[in-house]
């Protein structure tokens, strides 16, 4: 049986050697069994082109190995050395404004640059040869945070690569013209080399061009990853990965990345100023699990505050532990922090660490050490699966397309609705999976489509089949509007869902800023109460569906606001406005969950998180009071036996192993 991987980024090059001995001693004290090494050391290991200095890295690898600590070996390509920028100025990233980015930081290079690609290949080849079979190397950490600051480059090399990418995708330019609808405004192309990167331009740049540009930019980063991974694979048996940033890196389509890595690893940092950031963490973990298709690992999170948010609020007592175990509950088999020891210099010196500036007589260090030792007792969790009856559809392409300029309302934002539905389910203690709209949904009792603006014909058929075969589907407004080229499906909206939902939209009626409309449940609908809708209203025309609530005011007063369509053996619900919890959205979801037969844990207080993973049940108390929840089993950490009721202290976590 494997143990949970525990550790963090280790940057010994910032410290004198005497500190290295102290570090390793403390690592052992804290149960650290894996550290990420060399993520940013290109300028150190290759001080000049083709000259290598391995002395420091060799020594640290041996020191760690000698102490039983594994190495997650980085390739340093996210921070190319100054000499490379000087020798090849053409590798510098050009942004959408046409500005060539300066050095002094990391990332500012063009992912399509041949000189940069060649230099990456060369340094990775050196690393893989030297350390590829070293027994300490358990994992390869390729690059760092693909798509963080250089998601798109608009230099000439990028434009040429885009043209090549388009030629490969469309074959001939008339297919591209058809797909992109270039007849609009006469934006027709006669050859691929007439196509420009969508840098700053007058408003109204062809949205299909913009969408393909985003696909291309994502693919260029994948290509760089694959290049490095393939070099490594020639020299090393260790698995390779890179650190994703789900769901806070809009530019990377991780559905496309998923198959390229040997293990999915994710960076997640709390959005510290949000009141409900524990929900956003859960969403991140669930989506990461979906991308991984099973267990995964946290490659970076923080022991406390970060340094790059407007107000870097520190974690509250117990939060490091709650966050960490929430990740484990939702599928993580590894927990790594950025970083081991707080830096004294550089851009991130105010980022928290496992060893803070204040040293080991600190709550952070005590929490780090305690967690490491608890994790040893949780080895039986490793590899086990999280089960969910409910899936939420997620698609980076919908995110991209929905938020292009010139949509019906700026209040339409992809994550706004996804997070609203996710949070409502979280507050009802329902564990969810995320799923791509074209994936097999037959295992779910309920599927929620909150912002599925783009639905291909295949996705449209998939959803219809899901419902006809007994599935329950909840759809929010502005879903199923366009295909993969941002082209409106033929006929009335929502073209990809008209038949499934049993209705069509005569006209969109986006609301004024801050406007809220009352809704009233239709009699006999099984719904009750009075709710408010925001952001959106529309003129729904029923064509098979029935209204279960109507607008009580606004442009669609008296018209359907929520509908239900029984189709085949299933049911499709539709919300034509932005319902919010704790009223309308909770009621709608509760009704749909009931109808779908989704069982929810009972007797759980608000803001207590309960997740089952394999034979374990995690109970995380986010409140400031001790709580009791129903449950039986054995406390996985201290062996306490529970029979019927479990007490979880304020801010604490209990992990119940099935008896």
Using the CB atoms, write b or e for 553-591: b if 16+ within 10 Å: bbebeebbbbbbbebeebbbbbbbbbbbbeebbbbbbbb
Which of 313, 370, 377, 590 is the binder for its own copies (CB under 8 A)?
313
User: Which 280-299 residues touch its own copies, going by CB under 8 A?
Assistant: none
Cβ proximity to its own copies, 210 vs 628, nearer residue: 210
Mark the segment that binds its own copies (CB under 8 A) among 302-310, 371-379, 464-472, 572-580: 302-310
Binding mask 11-40 for its own copies (x = CB under 8 A): x-xx-------------------------x
Using rule CB under 8 A, residue 41 touches its own copies: yes
Q: Please identify which of the residues 300, 319, 484, 538 carries the catalytic annotation.
A: 300
Mark the segment that binds its own copies (CB under 8 A) among 163-171, 188-196, 230-238, 430-438: 188-196
Q: Is 506 in contact with 523 (CB distance < 8 Å)?
A: no
Using rule CB under 8 A, residue 435 touches its own copies: no
Largest Cα–Cα distance in the chain?
A: 79
Which of 58, 226, 347, 650 is the binder for its own copies (CB under 8 A)?
347
Which of 25, 226, 234, 357 is the binder for its own copies (CB under 8 A)?
357
Mark the segment that binds its own copies (CB under 8 A) among 219-227, 350-358, 387-395, 586-594: 350-358
Active site residue 300: yes
Which of 50, 186, 237, 259 is the binder for its own copies (CB under 8 A)?
186
Active site residue 506: no
Cβ proximity to its own copies, 228 vs 431, nearer residue: 228
d(CA 275, CA 581): 15
d(CA 124, CA 109): 17
Which of 1, 2, 18, 97 is the binder for its own copies (CB under 8 A)?
97
Closest distance to its own copies from the beta carbon of 180 (Å): 7
User: Which 573-592 residues touch its own copies, going by CB under 8 A?
Assistant: none
Cβ proximity to its own copies, 259 vs 491, nearer residue: 491
Which of 37, 505, 521, 596 is the binder for its own copies (CB under 8 A)?
505
Using rule CB under 8 A, residue 350 touches its own copies: yes
Q: How many residues bind its own copies (CB under 8 A)?
A: 120
CA atoms within 13 A on the CB side of 620: 28
Q: Which pair of structure tokens corresponds to residue 615? A: 């034979």
Q: In this structure, what are the phi and psi dihedrals at residue 130, rounded to the nearest 5 degrees?
A: -75, -40
d(CA 261, CA 242): 7
CA 219, chain centre distance (Å): 17
Using rule CB under 8 A, residue 516 touches its own copies: no
Report which of 437, 345, 295 is spatially closest to residue 11, judged by C-alpha positions. 345
Cβ proximity to its own copies, 263 vs 363, nearer residue: 363
Using rule CB under 8 A, residue 201 touches its own copies: yes
Closest distance to its own copies from the beta carbon of 434 (Å): 28
Q: Which pair of structure tokens corresponds to residue 125? A: 């080849």
Q: Is 266 in contact with 284 (CB distance < 8 Å)?
A: yes
Which of 50, 104, 524, 639 is the binder for its own copies (CB under 8 A)?
104
Which of 24, 139, 209, 418 is the binder for its own copies (CB under 8 A)?
209
d(CA 199, CA 196): 8
Whether the upstream peptide bond of residue 154 has omega within 30° of 0, thus cis, is: no
Using rule CB under 8 A, residue 199 touches its own copies: yes
Closest distance to its own copies from the beta carbon of 326 (Å): 21
d(CA 454, CA 487): 9
Cβ proximity to its own copies, 151 vs 604, nearer residue: 151
d(CA 286, CA 74): 26
Q: Specify the residue for token string 């202290």.
A: 649
Q: Tell me the β-bridge partners of 564.
A: 546, 573
Cβ proximity to its own copies, 407 vs 472, nearer residue: 407
Using rule CB under 8 A, residue 102 touches its own copies: yes
Closest distance to its own copies from the beta carbon of 229 (Å): 21
Mark the segment that binds its own copies (CB under 8 A) among 406-414, 518-526, 591-599, 620-628: 406-414
User: Which 134-153 residues touch its own copies, going by CB under 8 A?
Assistant: 148-150
Q: Is 68 in contact with 27 (CB distance < 8 Å)?
A: no
Using rule CB under 8 A, residue 99 touches its own copies: yes
d(CA 464, CA 472): 10
Q: Please identify which of the residues 145, 152, 220, 419 carries the catalytic annotation.
A: 145
Using rule CB under 8 A, residue 623 touches its own copies: no
Q: Tell me the β-bridge partners of 435.
A: 393
User: Which 217-276 residues touch its own copies, going by CB under 8 A?
Assistant: 273
Which of 55, 307, 380, 640 is the binder for its own copies (CB under 8 A)?
307
Q: Which pair of structure tokens corresponds to residue 96? A: 């959408």
Using rule CB under 8 A, residue 44 touches its own copies: yes
Closest distance to its own copies from the beta carbon of 223 (Å): 20
CA 390, chain centre distance (Å): 18
d(CA 465, CA 479): 17
Write the burial class of residue 384 (CB in 10 Å: 0-12 exposed, 13-18 middle, 19+ buried).
middle
Nearest 5°: the CA angle 338, 224, 149 is: 50
| Residue partners of 198: CB distance under 8 A and separation at least 6 | 96, 205, 209, 210, 213
d(CA 526, CA 549): 10
Cβ proximity to its own copies, 349 vs 645, nearer residue: 349
Using rule CB under 8 A, residue 643 touches its own copies: no
Closest distance to its own copies from the beta carbon of 428 (Å): 28
Cβ proximity to its own copies, 48 vs 649, nearer residue: 48
Closest distance to its own copies from the beta carbon of 79 (Å): 5
| Beta strands at 616-621 and 653-657: parallel, antiparallel or unpaired | antiparallel
Cβ proximity to its own copies, 395 vs 486, nearer residue: 486
Mark the segment that binds its own copies (CB under 8 A) among 177-185, 239-247, 323-331, 602-610: 177-185
Which of 66, 68, 200, 293 is the binder for its own copies (CB under 8 A)?
200
Using rule CB under 8 A, residue 403 touches its own copies: no
Its sign, for the CA torsion 389, 392, 393, 395, is: negative
Q: Is 363 in contact with 174 (CB distance < 8 Å)?
A: no
d(CA 282, CA 274): 14
Using rule CB under 8 A, residue 604 touches its own copies: no
User: Which 521-550 residues touch its own copies, going by CB under 8 A?
Assistant: 541
Q: Is 411 in contact with 510 (CB distance < 8 Å)?
A: yes
Using rule CB under 8 A, residue 321 touches its own copies: no
Q: Tell me the β-bridge partners of 534.
A: 516, 578
Q: Is 475 in contact with 571 (CB distance < 8 Å)?
A: no
Cβ proximity to its own copies, 45 vs 648, nearer residue: 45
Which sequence positions are flagged as catalytic?
A: 145, 300
């Amino acid at each position: 049986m494997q143990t949970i991987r525990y550790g963090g980024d280790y940057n010994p090059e910032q410290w004198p050697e005497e500190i290295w001995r102290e570090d390793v001693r403390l690592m052992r004290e804290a149960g650290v069994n894996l550290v990420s090494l060399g993520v940013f050391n290109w300028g150190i290991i290759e001080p000049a082109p083709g000259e290598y200095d391995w002395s420091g890295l060799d020594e640290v690898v041996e020191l760690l190995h000698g102490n039983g600590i594994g190495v997650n070996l980085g390739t340093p390509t996210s921070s190319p050395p100054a000499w490379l920028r000087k020798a090849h100025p053409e590798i510098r990233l050009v942004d959408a404004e046409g500005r060539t980015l300066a050095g002094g930081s990391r990332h500012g290079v063009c992912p399509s640059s041949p000189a940069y690609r060649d230099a990456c290949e060369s340094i990775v080849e050196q690393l893989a040869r030297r350390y590829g079979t070293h027994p300490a190397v358990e994992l390869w950490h390729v690059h760092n945070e693909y798509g963080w600051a250089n998601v798109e480059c608009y230099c000439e090399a990028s434009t040429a690569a885009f043209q090549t990418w388009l030629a490969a995708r469309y074959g001939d330019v008339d297919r591209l013209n058809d797909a992109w609808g270039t007849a609009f405004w006469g934006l027709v192309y006669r050859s691929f080399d007439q196509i420009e990167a969508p840098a700053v331009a007058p408003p109204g740049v062809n949205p299909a061009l913009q969408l393909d540009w985003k696909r291309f930019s994502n693919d260029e980063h994948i290509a760089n990853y694959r290049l490095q991974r393939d070099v490594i694979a020639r020299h090393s048996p260790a698995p390779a990965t890179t650190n994703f940033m789900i769901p806070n890196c809009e530019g990377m389509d991780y559905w496309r990345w998923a198959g390229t890595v040997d293990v999915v690893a994710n960076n997640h940092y709390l959005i510290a100023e949000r009141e409900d950031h524990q929900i956003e963490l859960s969403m991140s973990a669930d989506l990461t699990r979906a991308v991984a298709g099973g267990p995964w690992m946290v490659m970076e999170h923080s022991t406390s505050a970060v340094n790059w948010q407007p107000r870097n609020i520190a974690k509250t007592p117990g939060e490091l532990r709650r966050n960490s175990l929430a990740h484990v509950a939702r599928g993580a088999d590894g927990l790594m922090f950025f970083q081991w020891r707080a830096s004294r210099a550089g851009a991130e010196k105010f980022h928290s660490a496992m060893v803070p500036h204040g040293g080991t007589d600190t709550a952070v260090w005590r929490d780090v050490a305690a967690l490491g030792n608890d994790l040893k007792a949780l080895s039986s969790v490793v590899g086990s699966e999280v089960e969910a009856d409910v899936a939420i559809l997620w698609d980076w392409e919908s995110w991209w397309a929905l938020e292009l300029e010139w949509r019906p309302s700026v209040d339409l934002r992809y994550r706004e609705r996804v997070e609203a539905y996710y949070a409502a389910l979280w507050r009802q203690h329902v564990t969810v999976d995320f799923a791509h709209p074209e994936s097999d949904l037959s295992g779910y009792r309920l599927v929620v489509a909150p912002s599925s603006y783009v639905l291909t014909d295949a996705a449209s058929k998939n959803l219809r089949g899901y419902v006809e075969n007994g599935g329950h589907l909840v759809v929010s407004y502005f879903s199923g509007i366009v295909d993969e080229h941002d082209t409106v499906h033929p006929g009335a909206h929502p073209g990809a869902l008209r038949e499934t939902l049993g209705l069509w939209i005569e006209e969109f009626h986006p609301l004024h800023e801050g406007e809220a409309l009352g809704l009233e449940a239709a009699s006999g609908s099984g719904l009750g109460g009075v709710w408010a809708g925001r952001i959106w209203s529309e003129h729904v025309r029923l064509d098979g569906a029935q209204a279960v609530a109507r607008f009580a005011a606004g442009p669609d007063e008296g018209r359907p606001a929520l509908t239900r369509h029984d189709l085949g053996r299933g049911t499709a619900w539709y919300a034509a406005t932005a319902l919010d919890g704790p009223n309308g959205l909770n009621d709608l979801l509760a009704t749909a969950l009931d109808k779908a037969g989704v069982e929810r844990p009972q007797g759980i207080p608000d803001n207590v998180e309960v997740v089952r993973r394999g034979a374990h049940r995690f109970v995380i108390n986010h409140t400031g009071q001790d709580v009791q929840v129903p449950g039986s089993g054995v406390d996985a950490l201290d062996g306490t036996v529970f029979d019927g009721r479990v007490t979880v202290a304020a801010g604490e976590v209990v992990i119940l192993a099935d008896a």
